[in-house]
Every structure is written in structure tokens, then in C-alpha cells.
């Protein structure tokens, strides 16, 4: 699986949790891989790191063999705090005449807030889920295969014990 991103689960955004980081991965092959968009399709993963790590760790040094070379890219993110409108279904916004206004406020790559679903409201499963991050593939500095101009969504369960990833294109 390809490493996509990591997100700090800061208390000021996500409340008091027993986890501090979320790491997102997705299968990435040269040919099409079925199921990468599904939260339980076994082709993506979100790993939550507890706020303390008491287990053993592997130390990687330069003299260790590498399986293949990869180009690593690191980007600095500049955050602009803002308030998202509450989620309403597309038909409700269209009836109010402000669907484009809603999309202009929520369709972006962001941490937290209201998800801007491309197709229909889709959460990992029943229960309440909080948006950790939304990744709009057309607004990112690197290429991610979320279909045709797709958007990836990273969610955290209300309990803070599970996280899932899905995308719509």
C-alpha cells in the first residue's frame, strides 16, 4: 500500500482522544485495483497511533537493504481556520438556491469540517463519523488515483477508536 498522508488529531479540532495521529494508506498499482474506494474493501487502511507508544520499534539505518527506490516528497501545509456550513443534502441546498455557494465553501482539501460528497452522503458504516480530512485530488500537489477528479475522505468514529478511508469519483 502507498502512504497517502498523516494527520495530527489535535484536541482543539477532534476533542480529547486516546489517539494522536492517523496514517492513511491505499493500494497503488500501475493497473486498476478494484475496491480502493470502499471503506472495508481491504485496499486501503487508516492506522491510528495512540498518544503513547510502549511497544518495540524498528530502527531503519542507511546500511539496511531497501526493496526499491522511491522518491519521497514532503509538503508544508498552511492552515486557514474557517467554519463550514452544516451538511444538508444537495436537494435541500438546490431548493434554497445556494448549492454553488455551499460547494464553494466545502469543496477543498481540508482537515475536519463538513464533507463535500461528490455523489451522495457516504459514511463508513452506521453510527456517527467525524471528518478527519478531505483530499480533493485536483487540488493536491501530487497525483492520487481517486478516479476522475475524485475526493478522498478520512473519517474517525465517534468513539475515536476506529478510522476509515473511502473516496468518490
How far apart are alpha carbons 169 and 154 in whole angstroms? 15
User: Which of 43-47, 48-52, 131-135 has the weakest average pLDDT?
Assistant: 48-52
C-alpha pair distances (Å), 70 with each of 2, 135, 136: 11, 22, 23
How far apart are alpha carbons 8 and 4 in whole angstroms? 14
Query: Could you tell me which residue, 56 or 141, shows the higher pLDDT?
Result: 141
C-alpha pair distances (Å), 114 with each of 64, 139, 141, 161: 43, 17, 22, 20
pLDDT above 90 as % of the chain: 32
Question: What are the extents of the domains in the chain?
Answer: 2-52+81-168
CATH of domain 2-52+81-168: 2.30.320.10
- pLDDT at 55 (0 to 100): 57
pLDDT of 160 > 80? The answer is yes
Confidence of residue 54 (pLDDT cuts 50, 70, 90): low
Confidence of residue 33 (pLDDT cuts 50, 70, 90): confident
Amino acid at each position: 500500500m502507498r502512504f497517502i498522508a498523516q494527520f495530527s488529531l489535535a484536541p482543539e479540532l477532534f476533542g480529547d482522544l486516546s489517539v494522536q495521529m492517523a496514517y492513511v494508506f491505499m493500494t497503488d498499482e500501475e493497473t486498476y485495483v478494484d475496491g480502493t474506494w470502499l471503506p472495508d474493501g481491504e485496499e486501503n487502511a487508516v492506522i491510528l497511533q495512540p498518544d503513547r507508544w510502549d511497544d518495540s520499534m524498528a530502527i531503519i539505518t542507511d546500511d539496511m537493504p531497501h526493496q526499491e527506490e522511491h522518491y519521497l516528497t514532503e509538503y508544508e501545509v498552511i492552515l486557514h481556520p474557517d467554519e463550514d456550513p452544516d451538511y444538508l443534502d444537495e436537494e435541500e441546498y438546490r431548493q434554497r438556491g445556494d448549492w454553488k455557494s455551499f460547494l464553494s465553501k466545502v469543496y477543498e482539501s481540508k482537515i475536519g469540517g463538513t464533507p463535500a460528497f461528490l455523489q451522495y452522503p457516504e459514511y463508513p458504516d452506521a453510527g456517527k463519523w467525524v471528518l478527519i480530512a478531505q483530499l480533493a485530488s485536483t487540488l493536491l500537489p501530487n497525483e492520487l488515483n481517486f478516479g476522475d477528479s475524485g475526493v478522498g475522505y478520512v473519517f474517525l468514529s465517534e468513539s475515536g477508536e476506529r478510522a476509515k478511508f473511502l473516496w468518490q469519483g
